[in-house]
Structure 1
Amino acid sequence: MVLSPDFSSAPNLRAALLANREQALTQLYRQAFPPVRRHICGHGGSAEDAQDIFHDALVILYEQAVGGTLTLTSSASTYLVGISRNLWRHELRRRARLPHEALPDDPGPLAADAASETEETRFAVLDYVEQLGAKCKSMLLAFYYFQQPLTQIAADHDYRSVRSATVQKFKCLERLRESVRAAFRTETIEY
């Protein structure tokens, strides 16, 4: 019986990668690639896209682990899935900015406009989150996207208490809501 390596902490992962890189990467691939492939294929990507994104995520994880800059708050496979989701989101944004003529097998201007509007709507809130600033962005993503408990968020963001983190999260959320409302008011006035 072969036990799978413990990749729940950065030192364990670093040691495994330095001791036997091929075995450690193979184990990470087996654990994390299936959910990444499901996510990307379910969000407009192909199996090839999933492989490309996952390989990029593996490189990021590897460089951070071996370089000693990796801090894990969950398992390495969960971390890989999170990196892959972020990379895929950025790839979708990049593709949305490409001129429609540059896309292969362009189905026509009406279908391209509809697809562009759908993607723009889907990622519009993420654009507003980007504008909030690093601390608010980090906190909201940790709470809503990574579903971290407020105790962990308070510790990670150097708040003295969970209550302080809760208040700050609420303020960040209110700033986000106000940004969206202001943009909506501007758009409705223009039309």
Structure 2
Amino acid sequence: MTTSLLSAPAATALRDALLTDRERALTRLYRRAFPLVRRYVCGHGGTAQDAQDVFHDALVVLYEQAVGGTLVLTASASTYLVGIARNLWHHELRRRDRLPHEALPAELELQAAEESADTAEPAFAVLDYVERLGEKCRNVLLAFYYFQQPLTQIAAANGYRSVRSATVQKFKCLERLRNSVRRAFTAETIEY
């Protein structure tokens, strides 16, 4: 009980900082917490890109809680952010462990699919799989990975209520793409 009373001013101060000068507040959090998140993720089987993705997701969670008034800090905001990122990374590792084969980072998986497509089919074969996902998934994946648009812009363009919704949709679409490419290449391997 005492902890939440002590943390209320810190959470309120963070909320005020995010509402008055969001860019400055997020930059400050990034400088303090991202190196710690990167070190943790890279030290636990992840890549720098994994660390960046996890950090951005954690930042979205923190931002939504702070602005929504539901944030209760029992430590500094950067420590809380690192804790969120660690939990998200543990969740991602558990998800990867459930996959039927050793999971590869998305970029390597798409590269491997493209290299396999080069030997059997034209190089644009992966784009065929993206096209089969449907318009919404195609738009989200191309906007994020090809055009490198920020998730805020993707959320607005596709009518999502929040950046978190866009992030979840991006992961679902990417997972659908991975599964369809896996199924196709597994079928080809079995035929030979």
TM-score under structure 2 normalisation?
0.49
